[in-house]
């Protein structure tokens, strides 16, 4: 599986291992969820560690890679194109999720492409939606979906403009939560700081984090925003639960050159979050948590 088709530099960060096209806009893809791929602490129901589960954020990363790969491998988008994830989400069934074994877990992804949009004189889709069903060892355990916008290299450069050259905003005067407060394993996994007024800002502790910054990015990656929202939910009171679903919509690029605020609070079916920058909403969505057993 080509690393470039899923926007990864390291082989270890490529989750997909094989793929084939089926009739009627359907695809079958194989993935492996590595045992070590985790930023949030795992949950066990027996207390023995024998039934610990994978980090649920693997579901979001899998649909991200599936969407990018299908666009370029099967639907004709050139390698120079710039696929952009506009929305992403997943839902997991905690009762059927695969248990972490001694090695990676083989995950089968049944994918379907729909809501495809074309523009004149361009042979590949300008945008499309993908939904997938996850199964492992013959048992379905969840689903995911995403919306991809495919820009040409020229369109991307025009759209990004001078913002593409901006670097991260320093956060030396801010206080960073402890790993325990946001349910992660190490200080480098923390994605948030508090400014002097107590407001939460998105500011990754490790800008060379192997999972979130496998390669340089000219904007704050969507996966960083999603993880920051999960951590904000922990600080707001969701820490007793384990993430089992989410939906995030990116309304515009989140830039490095201005503070990024994130707010999260209880909603009707879980927790709602909003990411803002310079007074504008750049991303928003919802999170759901399962009670620890």
Kindly indicate the confidence band of residue 44, based on its pLDDT and cuts at 50, 70 and 90.
very low
The tokens describing 136, both together, are 């492992």
Cβ contact 114:40 at 8 Å: no
Predicted confidence at residue 239, as pLDDT, reads 62
Predicted confidence at residue 43, as pLDDT, reads 44
Predicted confidence at residue 40, as pLDDT, reads 42
The residue among 109, 114, 115 whose CA lies nearest residue 134 is 109
The tokens describing 196, both together, are 């002097």
Kindly indicate the confidence band of residue 47, based on its pLDDT and cuts at 50, 70 and 90.
very low
DSSP the chain: --SGGGT-SSGGG--EEEEEEETTTEEEEEEEE-TT--SBPP--SSSSSTT-B--THHHHHHHHHHHHHHHHHTS---TT-EEEEEEEEEEE-TTTPPBP-SSPEEEEEEEEEEEEE--TT-SS-SEEEEEEEEEETTEEEEEEEEEEEEE-HHHHHHHHGGGGG--PPP-TTSBPPPTGGGTBSSGGG--EEE-TTS-EEE--S-TT-TTT-SS--SS--HHHHHHHHHHHHIIIIITTEEEEEEEEEE-SPPPSSS--EEEEEEETTEEEEEEEETTEEEEEEEEEEEEP-
Cβ contact 85:222 at 8 Å: yes
- Position with higher pLDDT, 209 vs 172: 209
pLDDT tens string 246-278: 999 999 999 998 899 999 999 988 899 999 999
Cβ contact 168:203 at 8 Å: yes
For residues 215 and 254, give the distance between their C-alpha atoms in angstroms, rounded to a whole number: 17
Kindly indicate the confidence band of residue 140, based on its pLDDT and cuts at 50, 70 and 90.
very high
pLDDT tens string 164-175: 777 676 556 678
For the chain, the average pLDDT equals 87
Cβ contact 283:277 at 8 Å: no
For residues 141 and 146, give the distance between their C-alpha atoms in angstroms, rounded to a whole number: 18
Determine the average pLDDT of the residues in 152-176: 77
Phi and psi at residue 11, to the nearest 5°: -60, -35
For residues 202 and 185, give the distance between their C-alpha atoms in angstroms, rounded to a whole number: 18
The residue among 258, 255, 202 whose CA lies nearest residue 225 is 202
- Position with higher pLDDT, 37 vs 278: 278
Cα separation values, 11 from 4, 215, 251, Å: 10, 12, 30
**Euclidean distance between the first and the last CA atom of the chain, given in angstroms as a whole number:** 37
Determine the average pLDDT of the residues in 181-206: 91
Q: Is the pTM of this model over 0.85?
A: yes
pLDDT tens string 190-200: 999 998 888 99
């Amino acid at each position: 599986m080509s690393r470039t088709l899923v926007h990864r530099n390291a082989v270890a960060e490529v989750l997909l291992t094989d793929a084939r096209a089926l009739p009627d806009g359907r695809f079958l893809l194989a993935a492996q969820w590595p045992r070590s791929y985790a930023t949030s602490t795992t949950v066990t129901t027996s207390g023995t560690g024998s039934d610990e589960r994978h980090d649920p954020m693997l579901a979001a990363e899998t649909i991200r890679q599936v969407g990018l790969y299908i666009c370029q491998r099967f639907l004709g988008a050139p390698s120079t194109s710039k696929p952009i994830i506009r929305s992403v989400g997943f839902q997991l069934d905690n009762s059927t999720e695969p248990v972490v074994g001694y090695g990676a877990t083989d995950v089968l992804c049944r994918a379907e492409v729909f809501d495809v949009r074309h523009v004149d004189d361009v042979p590949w889709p300008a945008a499309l939606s993908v939904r997938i069903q996850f199964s492992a060892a013959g048992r379905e355990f969840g689903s995911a979906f995403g919306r991809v916008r495919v820009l040409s290299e020229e369109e991307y450069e025009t759209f990004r403009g001078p913002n593409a050259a901006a670097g991260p905003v320093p956060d030396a005067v801010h206080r960073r939560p402890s790993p325990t407060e946001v349910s992660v394993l190490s200080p480098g996994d923390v994605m948030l700081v508090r400014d002097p007024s107590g407001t939460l800002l998105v500011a990754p502790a490790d800008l060379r984090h192997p999972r979130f910054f496998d390669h340089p990015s000219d904007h704050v990656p969507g996966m960083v925003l999603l993880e920051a929202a999960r951590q904000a939910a922990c600080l707001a009171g969701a820490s007793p639960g384990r993430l089992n679903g989410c939906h995030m919509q990116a309304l515009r690029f989140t830039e490095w050159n201005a503070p990024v605020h994130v707010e999260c609070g209880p909603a009707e079916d879980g927790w709602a979050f909003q990411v803002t920058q310079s007074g504008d909403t750049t991303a928003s969505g919802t999170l759901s948590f399962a009670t620890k057993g």
